[in-house]
Structure 1
Amino acid sequence: MVGWQGLGGVPPTALVLAGIVSVQVGAAVATHLFASVGPGGAVTMRLVFGGIVLLVLWRSALRIERRALPVALAFGAVLALMNLCFYEAIDRIPLGMAVTLEFLGPLAIALAGSRRWIDPVWALLAGGGVFMLTRSDGQVVWSGIFLALAAGVCWAGYILLSAKLGERTSGGGGLAIAMAFGGILMMPVGIVEAGTALLQPAVLAAGFAVAMLSSVVPYSLELEALRRMPARIFGVLMSLEPAVAALAGLLVLGQILNFGQWAGVVCVVAASAGATRTASA
């Protein structure tokens, strides 16, 4: 991929944090599209625009081996379903809550197969966090909870398929093909849900912004960061994502979590960081 000039002088930790902020701001912006095109329309634009941009950026690496193509297509299908479940979730529950619940997918991957004595501690901490998140002063929207958890299951599949795709391809051509395929899969859903609203100039501009903030920019920053920092440190930093999501929901969308729900976010962040660190030690 064509490198972003000037990133070489930026500390890798700052690149990871900037990528996390970009993703969550993009999700917050996407919620403003729901009134016009619905979650399905927003996912469609994110994947279509993201796929187009990545295809252009990785045009020199689009030739992949035949054995890698099924993995790339499966990756794209999981990517589409993950984003659809996530956007449907944040249409029902606060962004911070949705991302925290979704993060249980990567946490499960971090704990799977490990036999360290401390792993049950991380699992119990995460379970306590989920309990506190779902304790609300008002009515809990359980459909949003289950959609966020479904997105987490897809995220776990995304991680496994991403590793497999990385083994069979080099560069970002596989990801570009996967995202473009995911966009194609989502187009019927977006068209049925949004119709001609997808063609409104303001909606197209917002959709492009979501694609850049949620896909292209963070992927580019994370790729550059991973070249210059250990994967273990990268994983621990990524564990901050639920907390950043809660802050983005508060600052951009005015979504207020109660004290117990913030405590739940902190528990899941701590469990994820701890599991990632001990699993990689």
Structure 2
Amino acid sequence: MNNIKVLSILYMLLSMISTQFSASIAKQMIMQLDALTVTIFRIFFAAIISFILFKSWRIIPKLKLIDKSDLILYTVALCVMNTLFYFSLGKLPMGIAVGLEFTGPLLLALLSIKQRIDYLWVGFAIVGILLMVPWSEALQLNFSFLGAICALGAGFCWALYIYYGQRVATANLGIHALSLALCFSSAILLPIGFIWHPEPLLTPSYWLQGLLIAIFAAAFPYTLDILALKNLTKLSYGTLSSLSPVLAALAGLIFLHEYLSLLQWIALFFIMVASIGVTLRKESVD
């Protein structure tokens, strides 16, 4: 396995750790406000950070020279994915919301299979996710089917985010595609937010929380995703993404003393096998 692939996998791991850390902050903030407002904070502050950090104003004159269809579709996928996931997070236990959202990357991994052995690794990942998610909570009377639909919709958009993210990552825009997508998403969501629920958007006491979510849930992980997608296939990215609930479970065990059931330990084993298998496999071009 070459150093570039190792570095790309490291980018993915850091991205997932950052995302899981931010999810707990976002969950608490959604309970105080609403999902759309928290999504806007996440996207808006991330847009400012990435635009300044990457000096993306330098790419604007070149926009007229490139095919903008992939950038538009990448923007829509990113915008809708964030909105639907935060709506699901406000209505479902985090484990179920994350598990349902992972149907997107795993479906994309299945569709990207070109070698028979890869069915084994994706199969391990699917079994691991099914065992990891606390489905017993879905039997409660207050289970939100709307939240489940939002999580599945976020998963579908995540698959599109991976697909078009890989395309824009290898195009002339490079890392600037992310900051432009975040800026365009902000332009879409901000007017809706000011019509829907303007008070919290204008309340400075919420801005610090919004900034933290933007850094750890969007600006930092999405930048790492773009870097990883330059050198990983859709199959590798989709299967390795299944490590995210594992990282969330381990973080809960270490920091919150949330102990895992026997089935969840078995799930960890299945997901780890899938991730190791897809990492060590001989890559084919997607």
Is 1:56 paired with 2:57?
no
The correspondence for 1:166, drawn from 150, 165, 169, is 169
Contact 1:15-1:221 at 8 Å conserved across structures: yes
* Aligned match of 2:69: 70
* Aligned match of 1:83: 82
Task: Give 3-state SS (helix, strand or coil) of 1:168's partner.
Answer: coil
* Aligned match of 2:244: 241
* Aligned match of 2:105: 106
State the Cα deviation string for residues 16-73 of structure 1 (Å, max 9, x = none): 4333211111122111211333111111111111112111122333433334333222
* Bigger shift: residues 189-198 or 205-214: 189-198
Q: Distance in 2 between matches of 1:69 and 1:252?
A: 44
| Structure 1 counterpart of 2:46, one-letter code | G
Q: Distance in 1 between matches of 2:262 and 2:196?
A: 36
| Structure 1 counterpart of 2:135, one-letter code | R
Contact 1:48-1:183 at 8 Å conserved across structures: yes
Q: Distance in 2 between matches of 1:13 and 1:125?
A: 19
Is 1:37 paired with 2:33?
yes
Q: Distance in 2 between matches of 1:96 and 1:50?
A: 25
- The Cα of 1:167 is off from its aligned counterpart by 4.1
For normalisation by structure 2, the TM-score amounts to: 0.76
Q: Distance in 2 between matches of 1:252 and 1:31?
A: 17
| Structure 1 counterpart of 2:86, one-letter code | Y
Identity of aligned residues (%): 29
Aligned length: 269
* Aligned match of 1:202: 205
* Unaligned residue ranges in structure 2 (runs of 5+): 1-6
State the Cα deviation string for residues 118-143 of structure 1 (Å, max 9, x = none): 34444544554455436305515433
Contact 1:82-1:150 at 8 Å conserved across structures: yes
Is 1:97 paired with 2:96?
yes
State the Cα deviation string for residues 168-215 of structure 1 (Å, max 9, x = none): 323322221111111121224433443211221121111111111112
Inter-CA distance 273–70: structure 2 relative to 1 (3 Å threshold):
same
**Over the residues paired in the alignment, what is the CA RMSD in angstroms?**
3.4
Contact 2:95-2:134 at 8 Å conserved across structures: no
Q: Distance in 1 between matches of 2:170 and 2:261?
A: 43
Task: Give 3-state SS (helix, strand or coil) of 1:153's partner.
Answer: helix
| Structure 2 counterpart of 1:231, one-letter code | L
The correspondence for 1:46, drawn from 36, 42, 60, is 42
Task: Give 3-state SS (helix, strand or coil) of 2:67's partner.
Answer: helix
Task: Give 3-state SS (helix, strand or coil) of 1:161's partner.
Answer: helix
| Structure 1 counterpart of 2:22, one-letter code | G
Q: Distance in 1 between matches of 2:40 and 2:134?
A: 29
Task: Give 3-state SS (helix, strand or coil) of 1:65's partner.
Answer: helix
Q: Distance in 1 between matches of 2:8 and 2:125?
A: 28
Contact 1:44-1:186 at 8 Å conserved across structures: yes
Q: Distance in 1 between matches of 2:281 and 2:93?
A: 30
Contact 2:96-2:135 at 8 Å conserved across structures: no
State the Cα deviation string for residues 141-174 of structure 1 (Å, max 9, x = none): 4333332221111011111211222343233222
* Bigger shift: residues 90-99 or 47-56: 90-99
| Structure 1 counterpart of 2:21, one-letter code | V
* Aligned match of 1:3: none
Inter-CA distance 25–184: structure 2 relative to 1 (3 Å threshold):
same
Contact 2:88-2:150 at 8 Å conserved across structures: yes
* Bigger shift: residues 244-253 or 211-220: 244-253
* Aligned match of 2:185: 182
Inter-CA distance 262–148: structure 2 relative to 1 (3 Å threshold):
farther
* Unaligned residue ranges in structure 1 (runs of 5+): 1-10
State the Cα deviation string for residues 209-235 of structure 1 (Å, max 9, x = none): 1111112222445566788xx637984
For normalisation by structure 1, the TM-score amounts to: 0.78
* Bigger shift: residues 104-113 or 258-267: 258-267
Inter-CA distance 259–149: structure 2 relative to 1 (3 Å threshold):
farther
Q: Distance in 2 between matches of 1:231 and 1:181?
A: 26
| Structure 1 counterpart of 2:71, one-letter code | A
Q: Distance in 1 between matches of 2:150 and 2:276?
A: 24
- The Cα of 1:248 is off from its aligned counterpart by 4.7
* Aligned match of 1:8: none
